[in-house]
Copies of this chain bind each other. A is one copy, B any other.
Amino acid sequence: MNETVVDAARLRAFVADILVAVGVKAADAAITADVLVTADLRGHESHGVARLEQFYVRPLQTGEIAARAELTVLHERAATLALDANNGLGQPAGARAMEMCIARAREAGSCIATVRHSNHYGIAGYYAMLALPHDMIGVACTNSAALVVPTGGRTAMLGTNPIALAAPTARHRPFVLDMATSVVPSGKVEVKARRGEPLPEGWAVDGEGQPTTDARATLERLYSGQPGGLMPLGGMEAGHKGYGLAVMVDILCGLLAGAGAGPSVGFGAGLGQESQAANVGHICAAISLEAFGSAEAFKASMDEYIDALHAAPRAAGSERIMVAGEPEAERTEQRLRDGIPLHPQVAQGLQALGDEFGLACLF
């Protein structure tokens, strides 16, 4: 069966229509659709429209996620905001938190916001990138349901807790780091399991906490609450560093925000065995370039810096030295031009949802 190719703008409108059909306000639906389609454009299909039904539509229908929640302010200072998503969709909460940060950073120079009582919000990089057109550096992190085993342990205690930072450039594509603090996200284990391939050493541990290469068994453990799980970034050699980074993200997104943390972050979205609200937490920050000097000078220095990395001597067999965000930006340009390829199962699922809600055919 072949891939179905779909235009990004059409896909975005279709996803938004489905969200509106299950009670989401139009503005929130537009943001959520944009986050999901942006993930597909950037090549992070595991965080894209493939998750629409299971992560968002069904939980919105059951009320597990509140369709019409408002983001409320708990505490505020010149350079801080503590926000509550009130169990609404993570995407509008994350995007609005960053927009509020940007507004404050325009005066104070920087601002940090936390969001509690939220839900899975897709790619963290999306929120960091919102700062770019404002000549600001954007930072975004989120915690997530426990899939990662701490160093010395054998059960998942931490989410893949990504760290994202975006920095503007003039001529080059912006720097956009968006990385799980595990060696790999769970989506890569899914792909290996689907293909019947073994995992590389250092991705996962089994129920005894020992390294394993069994993709299918690892995948089953991830969503069942059984011991075993993903290894933190650094793997067998330096996994304590990825473990430390995952805890750092949890301290900021969970404990500082007043959200869940560690194994108490719900799987939400019907994936796990818990029925209460997911209580995911996020943190974001905006840093104004003008507060540190000239934004133009910063962006010119970014270009020179990236030039130097591009021109650095390459390893034998290496074709390019790239900078974080470049592969995703190139893929976005190509997919905006040629359309987004969808796995046939994903296309079928979307069409079935469209039929369910009486929408016009997408394909």
Interface residues of A, Cβ cutoff 8 Å to B: 74-80, 82, 105, 107-112, 114, 137, 149-155, 157, 163, 165, 167, 175, 177, 179, 183-184, 200, 202-203, 205, 208-210, 227, 233-235, 237-238, 240-245, 247-248, 250-252, 254-258, 261-263, 287-289, 291-293, 298, 301-302, 305, 308-309, 312-316, 318-324
The 4 nearest A-B residue pairs measured at CB:
A209-B315, A80-B109, A77-B109, A79-B79
Among A105, A151, A167, A245, find the residue whose CB has the most chain B CB atoms closer than 10 A: A245
A247 and B315 contact, CB distance less than 8 A: no
Partner of A321, one of B82, B150, B298: B150
Contacts A75-B293, A203-B237 given; indicate if A111 touches B110 (C-beta within 8 A).
yes
**A111 surroundings in chain B (CB, below 8 A):** 79, 110
B209 and A110 contact, CB distance less than 8 A: no
Partner of A79, one of B76, B78, B251: B78
Partner of A291, one of B77, B254, B320: B77
**A247 surroundings in chain B (CB, below 8 A):** 175, 177, 309, 323-324
A152 and B321 contact, CB distance less than 8 A: yes
- A302, closest chain B residue (CB): B255
**A175 surroundings in chain B (CB, below 8 A):** 247-248, 251
A264 to chain B, nearest CB (A): 8
Bound state CA distance, A320 and B209, in angstroms?
13
A259 to chain B, nearest CB (A): 10
A293 and B251 contact, CB distance less than 8 A: no
Interchain residue pairs with CB less than 8 A apart (27): A75-B293, A78-B79, A78-B107, A79-B109, A79-B111, A80-B110, A80-B292, A82-B293, A110-B112, A151-B322, A152-B314, A152-B318, A152-B319, A152-B320, A153-B309, A154-B315, A175-B248, A179-B241, A200-B237, A233-B241, A234-B234, A240-B324, A251-B305, A254-B305, A255-B305, A256-B292, A256-B298
**A289 surroundings in chain B (CB, below 8 A):** 256
